[in-house]
Amino acid sequence: MADGITGVVTLSPESGERVRGVAAGLGVDHALDEITRPELMEARRTGDIALVHSWELVTAVDGPGTRMTMFMSGCPLRCQYCHNPDTMEMKTGTLERVDDVVTRIKRYKPIFRASGGGLTISGGEPLFQIAFTRRVLKEVHDAGIHTTIDTSGFLGSRLRDEDLDNIDLVLMDVKSGDEETYQRVTRRQLQPTLDFGDRLNRIGKPVWIRFVLVPGLTDSAENVENVASIVERWKSNVERVEVLPFHNMGKDKWEGLDMTYHLADTKPPRPEDVEKVRDVFRAKGLEVY
């Protein structure tokens, strides 16, 4: 499995700027497209350079306040409902220098201060290109900016204790509550997420949990109860649980990548069914949205 350091980077040809959202203008150092492979491999090892998929500047979505969200390329999971399947492989994005990224983020510090926001590193999986993520988190956190990672927890063991000191909030996706369902959803194992969640609980790190409700996949009463029971054991540091209804807005991306989208005929859950699942978490004494 490529680990974000030794894996192969291929930049797919695209037209126009390879960025999105109102943060357009970030991530356009095309001079780095000419970097040689040995130089690139060394720069990725040290965290000097990474492949950034895209950016967004949003409010109250990926953490508190106005967030600058940086989406990293690369992910070890293969979630059936992924709405950014083009982040799975390290094939699309813009090569970015860590110093340039930190400088750009710092420009938004007045906005972050006014709104109580900050930086969120998402993906893909933010811990896939770990050296780069580690350096960005430290420099941005040292600058007094609130930092968040949006992760499945599968690669949580890559974070050192000092890395966790540079993270103010963890958004963690608990995909399912039992091993069989988790593997069906992600093609990976549940245990690393449990281990990471337990570690965050031991140190009292603030966490927001996310659970995607997918009819016919994650919505069984047993699976929902299992997820709620897992999160309940972290209740002392989990600030909120977000139950997110499935949508198939990523369908066109899957098809555009010639990937089989198994949920093409799956409909979003009914609002009353989503609320029923939220009640399961509320019954555990959790704050639920």
The letter for the amino acid at 174 is: V
Task: State mean pLDDT over 127-137.
Answer: 97
Report the C-alpha gap between 109 and 107 in whole angstroms.
6
At 103 the pLDDT is: 97
pLDDT one-digit tens code per residue, 213-266: 999 999 999 999 999 999 999 999 999 999 999 988 777 788 788 888 888 889
pLDDT at residue 163 tops 80: yes
Report the C-alpha gap between 169 and 210 in whole angstroms.
13
Q: What CATH code would you report for 37-284?
A: 3.20.20.70
Q: What is the DSSP string of the chain?
A: ---SSSS-------SS-S--GGGBTBS--GGGGG--HHHHHHHHHHTSEEEEEEEEEEESSSSSSEEEEEEES--S---TT-S-GGGTSTTSSEEEEHHHHHHHHHTTHHHHHHHT-EEEEESS-TTTTHHHHHHHHHHHHHTT-EEEEEE-STTGGG--HHHHHT-SEEEEE---SSHHHHHHHHSS-SHHHHHHHHHHHHHT--EEEEEEE-TTTT--HHHHHHHHHHHHTTTTTEEEEEEEE---TTHHHHHHTT---TTTTPPPPPHHHHHHHHHHHHTTT--B-
Report the C-alpha gap between 50 and 41 in whole angstroms.
10
Question: Among the ranges 33-47, 238-252, 269-283, which has the highest mean pLDDT value?
Answer: 269-283
Hey, how many other C-beta atoms are within 10 angstroms of the C-beta on 267? Answer: 11
pLDDT at residue 17 tops 70: no
At 33 the pLDDT is: 59
pLDDT one-digit tens code per residue, 67-81: 999 999 999 999 998
Report the C-alpha gap between 233 and 160 in whole angstroms.
23
At 206 the pLDDT is: 98
Q: What rounded mean pLDDT belongs to the chain?
A: 88
Question: Among the ranges 21-25, 36-40, 162-166, which has the highest mean pLDDT value?
Answer: 162-166
Report the C-alpha gap between 54 and 73 in whole angstroms.
9
pLDDT band at 10, cuts 50/70/90?
Answer: very low
Task: State mean pLDDT over 11-25.
Answer: 33
Which of 13-17, 46-50, 157-161, 221-225 is predicted with the least confidence, judged by mean pLDDT? 13-17
Question: What pTM was estimated for this model as a whole?
Answer: 0.87
At 87 the pLDDT is: 87
Which of 37-51, 237-251, 259-273, 275-289 is predicted with the least confidence, judged by mean pLDDT? 37-51
pLDDT one-digit tens code per residue, 92-104: 899 999 999 999 9
pLDDT at residue 19 tops 50: no
| C-beta separation of 229 from 284 below 8 A | yes
Domain segments of the chain: what residues? 37-284
pLDDT at residue 183 tops 80: yes
